Amino acid sequence: SAVISQKPSRDICQRGTSLTIQCQVDSQVTMMFWYRQQPGQSLTLIATANQGSEATYESGFVIDKFPISRPNLTFSTLTVSNMSPEDSSIYLCSVADTKRNTIYFGEGSWLTVV
Amino acid sequence: AQKVTQAQTEISVVEKEDVTLDCVYETRDTTYYLFWYKQPPSGELVFLIRRNSFDEQNEISGRYSWNFQKSTSSFNFTITASQVVDSAVYFCALMGAGNMLTFGGGTRLMVKP
């Protein structure tokens, strides 16, 4: 299975600031995804990030708030912009292993906005 | 549209009891995949199993077993002889076309010593 590393693992942020989360994969993958998990809730897909194209955002998520970069097949970043306490969540990066039709997740980044 | 329902939001058992976590799904896709993930308190999502829509064989892995019944659109997960380390939130998820997962609401399992 793919090994997925996320940074930071945890952070406490001031409202109004922005934070960039990094996701590094140990193998080349075509499809990467970013999910948000608000406290006590399930996971919600923010966007799909494919290398060489603009990210595709799900309903309720916009590029100005969650800009995503995908510069190569092993790396992606998600920025949470102009944060408010409602953005306090776990943000998870995931990749599709298309040979095994399986989705693997990183360890998650716990953000608390104060 | 796809939907995954985990009706049990929280289950509490005593160690060594067997416990079954229910999962019911809806999809119009003829080819799809079902998953179970475990999320311990540390937050990471641990992959447990994937099942494709054409394979209804039940699977056993140690103390874990899964029962996939297409006729009832269910993919239930049983832990035999539960242990305290099994305490976590368990998510059932569905993947159709596009490799995007639709998650259920999760079931919090608490195993007491």
What pLDDT, in 10s, does the model give residues A4-23?
999 999 999 999 999 999 99
Taking an 8 Å cut-off on Cβ atoms, the answer to whether A33 and B105 are in contact is: no
A6-15, A31-40, A69-78, B56-65: segment of lowest average pLDDT: B56-65
A63 inside 8 A of chain B by CB: no
Residues of chain B with pLDDT > 90: what percent? 81
Rounded to a whole number of angstroms, the CA Rg of chain B reads 14
Judged against a pLDDT cut of 80, whether residue B98 lies above it is answered with: no
Judged against a pLDDT cut of 90, whether residue B68 lies above it is answered with: yes
Judged against a pLDDT cut of 80, whether residue B50 lies above it is answered with: yes
Quick one: closest CA in A to B50, which residue?
A102
Q: What is the DSSP string of B46-86?
A: EEEEEEETT----EEETTEEEEEEGGGTEEEEEESS--GGG
Nearest to B81 by CA among B8, B11, B14: B14
Adjacent-strand bridge partners of A113: A13
Q: Distances from the Cα of A102 to the Cαs of A11, A71, B35, B79, B94, in angstroms?
A: 29, 23, 8, 22, 11
Q: Looking at beta carbons, which residues of chain A come within 8 Å of B100?
A: 33, 45, 48
Which candidate from A31, A41, A90 shows the least CB-CB separation from B99? Answer: A31
Mutate to test the interface with B, among A101, A107, A110 (most CBs of B within 10 A): A101
Which candidate from A1, A103, A108 shows the least CB-CB separation from B99? Answer: A103
Judged against a pLDDT cut of 90, whether residue A100 lies above it is answered with: no
**Mean of the per-residue pLDDT values of chain A:** 94
B13-37 pLDDT, tens digit per residue, is: 999 999 999 999 999 998 999 999 9
Calpha distance B43→B46 (Å, rounded): 9
Q: Looking at beta carbons, which residues of chain B come within 8 Å of A38?
A: none
B95 inside 8 A of chain A by CB: yes
